[in-house]
Amino acid sequence: MSGELVLVTGGSGFLGVHCILALLKAGYRVRTTVRSSRREADVLAMVKVGGVEPGDTLSFARADLTADAGWPEAAVGCRYVLHVASPFPPGVPKHEDELIVPAREGALRVLRAARDAGVERVVLTSSFAAIGYGQTPIPGRPFTEENWTDLSAKVSAYVKSKTLAERAAWDFVAGQGGALELAVVNPVGIFGPVLGPDHSTSTEFIRRLLDGEMPGLPRMVFGVVDVRDVAELHLRAMTNPAAKGERFLAISGDFMTVPEIAQTLKARLGDAASRVTTRVLPDWLVRFVGLFDKEAAQVVTELGKARNATGAKAKRLLGWASRSREEALVATGESLIRLGLLKKAK
């Protein structure tokens, strides 16, 4: 382990920078890709907020998921690759290919570069989106790594992009990967300590709740996991022989309803959560708004669905453990407060 070089794609992202922190703390050297050299200072700042002074153990490579240039140079000399980078827009793309093409083709670019550079194993960050959508949840039967999202059903562009990208990765390794090994991590909603102003869609949801920007709560459920635990799972999947050729759901406990998340914030953050609403919106109202609002339309198909999943496989095969759902949510709020990313109280 000492001094071995690991490539992390998308180091300026919420999960990417936490993976960098976990690797540096474990004694690895890290090279991370950024689309623009302007993002290097942002990554360094977030790493320092995370408590690490990287010195010469962190370096940068310029590469973009939509182009071939830079990927061979980024992978050279690396023993492992964590392919974390993937588009996840806050809004709805004009065309689904804006998400699908860079996700799928970007994964293949990284895998080709890794194979050609003699990388031992790639850990791909996929998503629960590739597991539990396009099908009706069965009460008492949580989704596992054996499940795949059904793309013949109506699903969002993001769900489709994650599913197609992961499918393409498995097909590539099986047919053209040579000695390259692949493991996949499928997180649910990722929360936890924010390290800078450019965070994630999941943590932006918490910010909107805390800033009172949500007039009501849809009757939905989703999974919660702490970003620090997802990063730790990537490291375990990177080195554990049992992870070769396997998928791992990253989830902490059962899915939570949106009202349960709001109540957790109010109970644990006190005055800082005074703007959080507890009003639950009726389904008909969310559907009506969805007729005019594309973002609202994305959640309509999920209203009232009692979806659930289990992370037992990661615990059993890799000895992975996770923080509680509540700790992940509270850590998100506390970091947003600490970094001054919430509106100031009147």
Q: For residue 344, give Cα distances in angstroms to 208, 246, 266, 288, 340.
A: 13, 46, 17, 32, 8
Count of Cβ atoms closer than 10 Å to residue 345 Cβ: 8
Q: For residue 63, give Cα distances in angstroms to 40, 243, 294, 312.
A: 12, 27, 31, 35
Cβ(278)–Cβ(246) under 8 Å?
no
Rg (CA), the chain: 20
The neighbouring-strand residues paired with 138 are 141
Q: Is 212 left (phi over 0), alpha (psi -120 to 50) or beta?
A: left
The active-site residue, picked from 154, 160, 162, 313, is 162
Look at residues 268, 110, 132 and name the one whose alpha carbon lies nearest to residue 187: 132
Strand order in the sheet with 247-250: 58-62, 29-34, 5-9, 80-83, 121-125, 181-187, 247-250
Q: Is 304 left (phi over 0), alpha (psi -120 to 50) or beta?
A: left
Look at residues 191, 182, 180 and name the one whose alpha carbon lies nearest to residue 231: 191
For tokens 């004694």, name the residue. Answer: 27
Is position 344 annotated as part of the catalytic site? no
d(CA 41, CA 37): 8
Count of Cβ atoms closer than 10 Å to residue 285 Cβ: 12
Look at residues 329, 64, 45 and name the one whose alpha carbon lies nearest to residue 198: 45
Q: Which residues are catalytic?
A: 162
